[in-house]
Amino acid sequence: MATILFGGNEVKTSGSLPEVGSTAPDFILTKTDLSDISLKDFAGKKIVLNIFPSLGTPVCAGSIRKFNEKAAGIDNTEVLCISKDLPFAHKSFCETEGIENVVPAAEYKSTAFEDAYKVTIQDGPFTGLFSRAVVVIDETGKVVYTEQVKEVGDEPDYDKALAALA
């Protein structure tokens, strides 16, 4: 289990992120049109997994906006914005905000993502939601960067995550 902070108080996650250099675990997530996607759907591409608790918090919403802006135009790269929010909430948020450069994805029909990436918060006010984390996967399917954000209310290091794509 990883120990992170929620409002300065320690909380645990269900485990640790995949190790840098390991093969990224596959997953099943649901897009806004209710179709399923998996890691295999992005074969040959670089992938940023922007993982967060909920669209309804300012930091989570900000991370989607920031990755949407910073990832625009990066060749052969997809950014998946992942939470347990319903696909309909992802769709509404992205349409309202004009978000077009990321793939909104929900853990909706399967627990394959949380089982593989071990980001589920185990205690505290956000029990059952995902912690804030970033995983970058290269075009061969290897994990090249991870960040388990120490304080749930803090933003990830966007520049380090995007630098890992180079």
Active site residues: 60
String of b and e for 10-38 (b: at least 16 CB within 10 Å)? Answer: ebbbbbebbeeeeebbebbbbbbeeeebe
Instruction: Compute the distance between CA of residue 49 and CA of residue 97 in angstroms, rounded to an integer.
Output: 20
Q: How many CA atoms lie within 13 A of 96 on its CB side?
A: 9
Instruction: Compute the distance between CA of residue 134 and CA of residue 132 in angstroms, rounded to an integer.
Output: 7
Instruction: Compute the distance between CA of residue 112 and CA of residue 101 in angstroms, rounded to an integer.
Output: 24
Q: What is the sign, positive or negative, of the torsion defined by CA atoms of 148, 139, 95, 87?
A: negative
